Structure 1
Amino acid sequence: MTKKYKKLILSILLDLIGIIPIPFIDVLWAPLSSYLISKMYKGKQGKVAAIISFIEEAIPFLDIIPTFTIMWFYSHVIKKEEVEEIIMF
């Protein structure tokens, strides 16, 4: 299994933790998820993802959004397509 797919599995697991509907956990999870996503995805995109993750986890009922998995998809599918498109021109 490649590093890319290990990161996908980790992203899914972290999103599942974020869905746990216990308010006390949300208070702890919001800053932790923000920190983790900033370490998983470096640079500007990691910083933006950290802010989005914190807001998403801190606001009630937004926990269902799979921020880590969306970020993985953006990094490994969408951004990859943009790079390939630039190379072809």
Structure 2
Amino acid sequence: MSQEIVVQTSKSNKTKHLILSLLFDAIGYVSYGIPFVAELTDIVWAPIAGFLLARMYKGTVGTVGGITVFVEELLPGLDFIPTFTLTWVYTYLIKKENTI
């Protein structure tokens, strides 16, 4: 019975992380729609995105992902990279580890 609860919780977290990852990547893309304001919104979004990714994915994956999304949001022209979603793919499909 307890194993069943763990499996359900893992699936729930996996789905929740996917939805949040897609949402946060979409927020990162919004700045493209606002000419001349994109750089300013990226300066605000970069530390928030780094913090959120590090909180969503614990350990080394979260730390590396948080730093990566922070740098990616600050550097011009790299906003198209879906860092949150790529982290989800790495965590749940490539590494196959369910991180809470």
TM range (shorter): 0.7 to 0.9
Q: Does 1:73 align with 2:66?
A: no
Q: Does 1:25 align with 2:41?
A: yes
What count of residue pairs does the alignment treat as equivalent? 81
**Alignment identity in percent?**
47
Deviation at 1:3, TM superposition (A): 2.0
- Name the residue aligned to 2:54: 38
Deviation at 1:44, TM superposition (A): 1.0
Deviation string 1:27-64 (CA, Å, 9 cap, x unpaired) is 10011100000000011111111111111100111001
Distance 2:61 2:13 in 1: 19
What is the Cα-based RMSD across aligned positions, in Å? 1.4
TM-score (norm 2): 0.76
Distance 2:80 2:39 in 1: 14
Q: Does 1:2 align with 2:6?
A: no
Distance 2:77 2:23 in 1: 19
Gaps of 5+ in 2: 1-10, 33-37
- Name the residue aligned to 2:70: 54
Gaps of 5+ in 1: 84-89
Q: Secondary structure at the match of 2:68?
A: helix
Larger Rg: 2
Deviation at 1:6, TM superposition (A): 1.5
